[in-house]
Amino acid sequence: MNDRVQRLEEKVAYLERHVTEQDKAMLELTETLARVRQELRNLRERMTDTTTGDGGEPADERPPHY
């Protein structure tokens, strides 16, 4: 009986450790996803600003060195 309880305690300890590791991984993925979403928003804004900047097409603009 004592051996059985010990094995159960070991399994519970393993599962607790595993859950903690999974929580850390999930938090890291959530933070990464938030950063990627923000970068995507920034890129979309830049694309919108580029296409609606002065009404002209980028191909019609003079290069900056002129």
Mean pLDDT per block of 10 residues along the chain (66 residues) reads 95 98 98 98 91 63 75
The whole-number pLDDT of residue 53 equals 63
Q: Find out whether 50 and 58 touch, Cβ atoms under 8 Å.
A: yes
pTM of the model: 0.61
The whole-number pLDDT of residue 66 equals 62
Q: In angstroms, rounded to a whole number, what is the distance separating the alpha carbons of residues 12 and 6?
A: 10
The whole-number pLDDT of residue 59 equals 66
Distance of CA 45 to the CA centre of its chain: 19
The whole-number pLDDT of residue 49 equals 85
